[in-house]
Amino acid sequence: MSVIIFNGSLSNQSSLYPIQVILEHKFEAIGMNIESYILHQIEIKSCIGCFRCWDTTPGICSGVKGDKGEEIKKKVINSDLLVFLTPITFGGYSSEIKKIFERLLGILQPGMQIINGESHHLKRYDRYPSFLAIGVIEQQDQESEELFKTLVHRNSLNFFPPKYWALVFQDGDDEAKIQQELTKVIDEMEVLKY
């Protein structure tokens, strides 16, 4: 069982690192293989929108070269669980997490299918990892929290995770609360059954 943790903090933020450490300890305790990325510390270039990963080199980004994007994408599709840690910005992900989502476009096919009256991409692979998105907000803001949870739900419709979860913490939440919530979510997601 493998998990990839993407820490999407910006270079001037450190509030996500303690959550990352708690997650690493929890996953290690249940025997999962863990790979963590602090995204602003590695080179991940932005998608240039050429869509060659769809129509020219299926599944492979040929428009962006010289970064860790393709290496990470291969690990993503072979993992069991993805964790996205992000500061919540206007109800959405950080720019670092957004770059990862854009670079994962090639794990889908360009064709569309109708699911519950909506257009969604086709699967490229038979299996996809589950994902857990954890947002940290500076101060309580119900509207931003709901937007974040809606965004995670909408992404789940296109990335086909067997299970997904959105969780929001407020900057400054104590470690005991974070530990308790993460334990509950990991149990409810049944990560060892993937």
Q: Is the pLDDT of residue 95 over 90?
A: yes
- Give the pLDDT confidence score for residue 194 in this predicted structure: 52
User: In which domain, by residue range, is 163 found?
Assistant: 2-193
118 compared with 149, residue with greater pLDDT: 149
pLDDT digits (tens, 9 = 90+) for 6-45: 999 988 777 799 999 999 999 999 999 999 999 999 999 9
How far CA 131 is from CA of 33, 75, 107, in Å, comes to 15, 14, 15
Q: What pairs with residue 114 in β-bridges? A: 119
Q: What is the pTM of this model?
A: 0.93
pLDDT tier for residue 74 given thresholds of 50, 70 and 90? very high
**CA separation for the pair 97, 63 (Å, rounded):** 19
- Look at the chain and report how many structural domains it folds into: 1
Pairing of strands 108-115, 118-123: antiparallel
Q: Contact at 8 Å (CB) between 169 and 87? A: no
pLDDT digits (tens, 9 = 90+) for 75-94: 999 999 999 999 998 899 99
Helix or strand holding residue 21 (H, E): helix 17-29
- Give the pLDDT confidence score for residue 65 in this predicted structure: 87
- Give the pLDDT confidence score for residue 35 in this predicted structure: 96
- Give the pLDDT confidence score for residue 193 in this predicted structure: 58
Query: Cβ contacts of residue 115 below 8 Å, gap of 6+?
Result: 157
- Give the pLDDT confidence score for residue 189 in this predicted structure: 84
Nearest to 15 by CA among 135, 186, 192, 177: 135
**CA separation for the pair 186, 26 (Å, rounded):** 9
> What CATH code is carried by the domain that includes residue 151?
3.40.50.360
- Give the pLDDT confidence score for residue 116 in this predicted structure: 87
- Give the pLDDT confidence score for residue 15 in this predicted structure: 76
- Give the pLDDT confidence score for residue 125 in this predicted structure: 93
Mean pLDDT computed over every residue of the chain? 91
Q: Is the pLDDT of residue 192 over 70?
A: no
Nearest to 135 by CA among 150, 125, 145, 143: 145
pLDDT tier for residue 188 given thresholds of 50, 70 and 90? confident
